Amino acid sequence: MYEFDRFRPHGPSAARVLVEDHPFALLVTAGNGVPVVTHTPVIPTGSSWADDALVGGTLVGHMARVNPQWEGITPTGRALLVFQGPQGYVSPTTYAEPEMVPTWDYAAVHLETDVEVVLDDAANLEIVRQTVTRIESLTGKPWDMSGSLAEFERLAHLVVGFRFRVTGVRTVFKLSQDMPPEIHARVRAAAAERGDEEMVRFMERYAP
């Protein structure tokens, strides 16, 4: 992903927060030279994740074992993880200025990683448990999985787990910060009017 200098987020924690709050990622690998993609939850894990730089941080994820993508990942495999934050079309009517053109605002983080395939059932059960615990924590009313542990154990052999180590980070937080303050305010107000509260928060926090 090409990074624009003018669309770098304000604040060092922006990329980390986006990844933590938007765990449904794209897992991209290249099998036989052809890009292969799976949509799957990926979550940070371990104390190394506390560093806002992210490089060296670790994440875990999983996919169905019947998905052949994992078979194309070598022992020294590489993978790209794509995390998408808020996004939205910006109509020229929002600007209230002549000779303007439409655009699209969005926030995204790409993590380049070394990836390890995990085939051990017990390890995969732990990856799934960590994933559910993390994502349930985002709901505000976490579900107690203790009553379903037997079902998780039964399904463990049907998934393949992954451990990712971050080697590179690319970010684009295109949030109309290249516009004059009055236009930026109009775009933010339009997002609020359509109920996109997350876009409003991102514009206020990362592109003031």
Which H or E element spans position 137? Answer: helix 121-137
Provide the residue ranges of all domains of the chain, joining segments of one domain with +: 5-206
pLDDT in tens, 160-178: 999 999 999 999 999 999 9
Does the pLDDT at position 192 exceed 90?
A: yes
Does the pLDDT at position 133 exceed 80?
A: yes
Which H or E element spans position 144? Answer: none
What architecture is domain 5-206?
Answer: Roll (2.30)
Q: Output the average pLDDT for the chain.
A: 93
Looking at residue 207, its pLDDT comes to 87
Looking at residue 49, its pLDDT comes to 79
pLDDT band for position 76 (cuts 50, 70, 90): low
Looking at residue 99, its pLDDT comes to 84
Could you say which DSSP state residue 175 is in?
A: S
- Percentages (nearest 5) of helix, strand, coil residues in the chain: 40, 35, 30
Integer Cα distance of 162 and 169 in angstroms: 19
Looking at residue 158, its pLDDT comes to 96
- Which range, 11-15, 152-156, 198-202, is most confident? 198-202
Integer Cα distance of 121 and 155 in angstroms: 9
Quick one: average pLDDT of 40-56? 87
SS3 state of residue 96: coil
C-alpha dist (Å) from residue 201 to 16, 40, 66, 189? 16, 25, 39, 11
